Amino acid sequence: KQEVTQIPAALSVPEGENLVLNCSFTDSAIYNLQWFRQDPGKGLTSLLLIQSSQREQTSGRLNASLDKSSGRSTLYIAASQPGDSATYLCAVPYNAGNMLTFGGGTRLMVKP
Amino acid sequence: SAVISQKPSRDICQRGTSLTIQCQVDSQVTMMFWYRQQPGQSLTLIATANQGSEATYESGFVIDKFPISRPNLTFSTLTVSNMSPEDSSIYLCSVHGTSGGGDTQYFGPGTRLTVL
């Protein structure tokens, strides 16, 4: 059974810092890995999708990397802003289907 | 991309009652998924809803408690039956799609349920 873990569970940083969020998974036979953002009480917004054949994806100040062999992914946020404050979730598909297994999330607070 | 709407956005319900949550997608999709997010927790898949067949439930979830309808390719409902305070959660529906040549998931805004 696939298990997804995110570290740290919570993170508080001053504005402007570069930061790294970590995601690990137990079964390396994944099709892809996705990073989502969730604002309090809201649904999920997809940030980045990395296919199993890719090493990284970039979108603006966000960069996600994937190392299948070690079962790890990182989300790098450059020059953090208060608007980045949210919960960040990573997820991988399971059972060869489209259902997702989610990590526990990292709650990020960026202070002005 | 897919745009998903859910109704209601939130509700406060009494113990023992039932609530039906609606999910509408702006395009036809084969599979729709229902997730639950308990307070302070991550998302857990409840079931997969295919049009024209019974929903497939994950371990720990049963049809009597969470009946699902899927009358067409753009709509689904999830009912939370005989509610208790432990059912207080955000319920989200999602669909599979493609973006940038790869698979992705699109999520609705969620329904925040509080059971008193």
Q: What is the pLDDT of residues A66-105, one digit of tens each?
A: 999 999 999 999 999 999 999 999 999 876 667 889 999 9
Of B42, B44, B48, which has the smallest distance from its Cβ to A89's Cβ?
B42
B91–A contact, CB cutoff 8 A? no
Question: What string of DSSP letters covers B41-109?
Answer: --EEEEEEEETTSPPEEPTT--TTTS-EEEEETTEEEEEE-S--GGG-EEEEEEEEEEETTEEEEEE--
Residues of chain B with pLDDT under 50: none
- Hey, what are A60's tokens? 């603006």
pLDDT, position A97: 64
Interface of B with A in 50-89 (CB under 8 A): none
pLDDT, position A40: 83
B112–A contact, CB cutoff 8 A? yes
B-interface mutation test, from A31, A35, A38, most B Cβ less than 10 A away: A38
pLDDT, position A30: 87
Chain A nearest CA to B37, separation (Å): 10
- Hey, what are B71's tokens? 């009358």
Encode burial over B28-61: b for 16+ CB neighbours within 10 A, e otherwise.
ebebbbbbbbeeeebbebbbbbbbeeebebbeeb
